């Protein structure tokens, strides 16, 4: 079987809205067949990213965000709100529909597409396990959450990996699921969420994590990742999506 080459992109911006605009531009172009299947790694500096179906008002502490300079943004996939700083690495996978990796069952898709990251974390010496239906855990604590979509002729899967994020800021900017249970929730955040650094018991660079995730993805998907850059078409589309959607209040706070 000939080797299957995918694109690896390392594209990130200071502006979280632009990061999310690129996040949409890539699967659109993959679906059009203009670019190969793609894995993107990127980070946000200081942002809350809420799920497509979530209410900003109900999930995010606006006051805390204002105080901490945290941007509130919305992604195009479902799932829950996440806090992202430089200690959090995002990965995004865009695969053209009909690919051998994609099963019919959606829940199974999450599992299969998480397998690359699980493999990469294991290469780092961590006992990472996929947990239904969109988490990766180490020793029973969540280190990564994933979300996905099927649109534009593409199966899209992305997730956030806590490498060394500030978990105390996370509990300030996100509203606890039930106000009455707030104390319990805040305590449980420290208990149920973990970081790669804490699990390894040493500092680790983002590059080292990324390198292992790349290898894990190559092994699990049986592909080869080739470094590349965004095409001009993707950049133009991202710019357009930034202007018309991701930087607008109606998109981010409208629900």
**Contact call for residues 124 and 190 (beta carbons, < 8 A):** no
Q: How far is the CB of 52 from other proteins (least distance, A)?
A: 6
Is the CB of 51 or the CB of 87 nearer to other proteins?
51
Query: Total residues at the site for other proteins (CB under 8 A)?
Result: 25
**Contact call for residues 111 and 135 (beta carbons, < 8 A):** no
| Residues 6 or more apart whose Cβ sits within 8 Å of residue 228 | 7, 8, 9
Longest dimension (CA), the chain: 57
Residue 149 as a binder of other proteins (CB under 8 A): the answer is yes
Instruction: Count other C-beta atoms under 10 Å from residue 13's C-beta.
Output: 17
Q: Show the binding pattern over residues 43-82: x = contacts other proteins (CB under 8 A), - = does not.
A: --------xxxxx--x-----------------xxxxxx-
What is the spatial distance between Cα 215 and Cα 206, in angstroms, rounded to a whole number? Answer: 14
| Residues 6 or more apart whose Cβ sits within 8 Å of residue 175 | 58, 59, 60, 61
SS3 40: strand
Is the CB of 46 or the CB of 149 nearer to other proteins?
149
Stretch that binds other proteins, among 142-150, 217-225, 229-237, 243-251 (CB under 8 A): 142-150
Residue 182 as a binder of other proteins (CB under 8 A): the answer is no
Is the CB of 13 or the CB of 152 nearer to other proteins?
152
Residue 254 as a binder of other proteins (CB under 8 A): the answer is no
What is the spatial distance between Cα 237 and Cα 223, in angstroms, rounded to a whole number? Answer: 27
- DSSP assignment of 160-173: EEESS--HHHHHHH
Q: How far is the CB of 137 from other proteins (least distance, A)?
A: 16
SS3 46: strand
Q: How far is the CB of 67 from other proteins (least distance, A)?
A: 24
Question: Under rule CB under 8 A, which residues in 93-132 are in contact with other proteins?
Answer: 106-107, 110
Residue 192 as a binder of other proteins (CB under 8 A): the answer is no
Residue 244 as a binder of other proteins (CB under 8 A): the answer is no
Residues in contact with other proteins by CB under 8 A are: 51-55, 58, 76-81, 106-107, 110, 133-134, 147-151, 177-178, 255
């Amino acid at each position: 079987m000939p080797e299957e080459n995918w694109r690896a992109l390392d594209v990130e911006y200071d502006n979280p809205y632009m990061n999310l605009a690129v996040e949409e531009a890539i699967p659109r172009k993959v679906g059009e067949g203009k670019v190969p299947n793609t894995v993107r790694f990127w980070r946000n500096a200081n942002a809350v990213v809420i799920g497509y179906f979530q209410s900003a008002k109900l999930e995010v502490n606006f006051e805390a965000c204002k105080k901490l300079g945290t941007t509130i943004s919305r992604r195009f996939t479902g799932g829950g709100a996440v806090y992202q700083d430089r200690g959090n690495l995002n990965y995004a996978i865009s695969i053209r529909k009909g690919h051998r990796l994609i099963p019919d069952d959606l829940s199974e898709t999450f599992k299969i597409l998480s397998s690359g990251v699980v493999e990469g974390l294991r290469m780092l010496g961590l006992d990472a396990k996929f947990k239904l239906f969109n988490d990766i855990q180490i020793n029973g604590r969540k280190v990564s959450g994933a979300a996905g979509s099927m649109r534009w002729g593409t199966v899209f899967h992305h997730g956030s990996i806590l490498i060394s994020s500030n978990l105390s800021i996370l509990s300030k900017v996100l509203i606890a699921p039930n106000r009455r249970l707030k104390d319990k929730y805040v305590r449980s955040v420290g208990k149920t969420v973990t970081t790669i650094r804490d699990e390894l018991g040493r500092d680790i660079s983002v590059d080292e994590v990324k390198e292992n995730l790349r290898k894990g993805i190559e092994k699990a998907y049986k592909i080869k990742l080739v470094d590349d850059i965004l095409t001009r078409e993707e950049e133009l589309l991202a710019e357009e999506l930034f202007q018309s959607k991701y930087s607008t209040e109606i998109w981010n706070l409208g629900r």
